[in-house]
Chain A
Amino acid sequence: EAGVAQSPRYKIIEKRQSVAFWCNPISGHATLYWYQQILGQGPKLLIQFQNNGVVDDSQLPKDRFSAERLKGVDSTLKIQPAKLEDSAVYLCASSLFLDRGHEQYFGPGTRLTVT
């Protein structure tokens, strides 16, 4: 079974530029998550989708971050404009059910450096 795919794997941009990340979850997984992991910290949830609807985006900085999952499969996360503090690994995860106690499968992440 193919895992969660993400691209690009690495991205270097200057502050105030924009960037987009792509995620393809495991086939059949209805729930998709985007996390931000800053060096030395655990992942922090940015947004959670159930199919193509947003379940939770309470920690998404909406003035600069946006995400969509138009057909309930692939998702994109965009940052515009980027700040230095956005340097982090952006992880996409998916799970089969929107339920407590389930397992989330993570992609390899996109490592973003903002200079």
Chain B
Amino acid sequence: RKEVEQDPGPFNVPEGATVAFNCTYSNSASQSFFWYRQDCRKEPKLLMSVYSSGNEDGRFTAQLNRASQYISLLIRDSKLSDSATYLCVVNKDNQGGKLIFGQGTELSVKP
């Protein structure tokens, strides 16, 4: 079983749509969770951290369910500029800085 698994993509949605990405992790001791965004042929960049209570940043909402070891990212009112690969990331075993990346889910927003 992979340490971090994401929905296989790609997701093709029209502008204005709401889209949700799901992610599961295998290590119950994991403490920190993130969503990174990676544009085509570019480096990953932090999109948002994920907190136990859930958190929102504009059109983006991240949720964490520790009992189910499940993380989600919801994007509302999709824009063309949201087209990218979204990487689910887990800090493994509470070890400083060791991030485990999922394989990514590609999103393509069409006009």
Interface code B85-111, partner A: CB below 8 Å = 1, 0 otherwise?
001010100111111111110000000
Identify 25 residue pairs between A and B in the complex whose beta-carbon atoms are under 8 Å apart, listed by A's number: A33-B97, A41-B104, A42-B4, A42-B103, A43-B87, A44-B101, A45-B98, A45-B100, A48-B97, A48-B98, A50-B96, A56-B95, A95-B97, A98-B97, A99-B96, A100-B31, A100-B32, A100-B91, A102-B97, A103-B46, A106-B43, A106-B44, A107-B43, A108-B43, A109-B43
- Asked if B94 and A100 make an inter-chain contact with CB atoms under 8 angstroms apart, the answer reads yes
Please count how many residues in chain B sit with their CB below 8 Å of the partner chain's CB atoms: 23
Task: Output the least CB separation between B24 and chain A (Å).
Answer: 14
Q: B45 at interface (Cβ–Cβ under 8 A)? A: yes
Please count how many residues in chain A sit with their CB below 8 Å of the partner chain's CB atoms: 26
Interface residues of chain B, those whose CB is within 8 Å of chain A, are 4, 31-32, 42-46, 49, 87, 89, 91, 94-104
Q: A84 at interface (Cβ–Cβ under 8 A)? A: no
Describe A's contact surface by its main secondary structure: loop
**What's the count of A-B pairs with C-beta under 8 Å?**
58
Task: Output the least CB separation between A107 and chain B (Å).
Answer: 6
**In whole angstroms, what is the CA distance A108 to B39 when docked?**
11
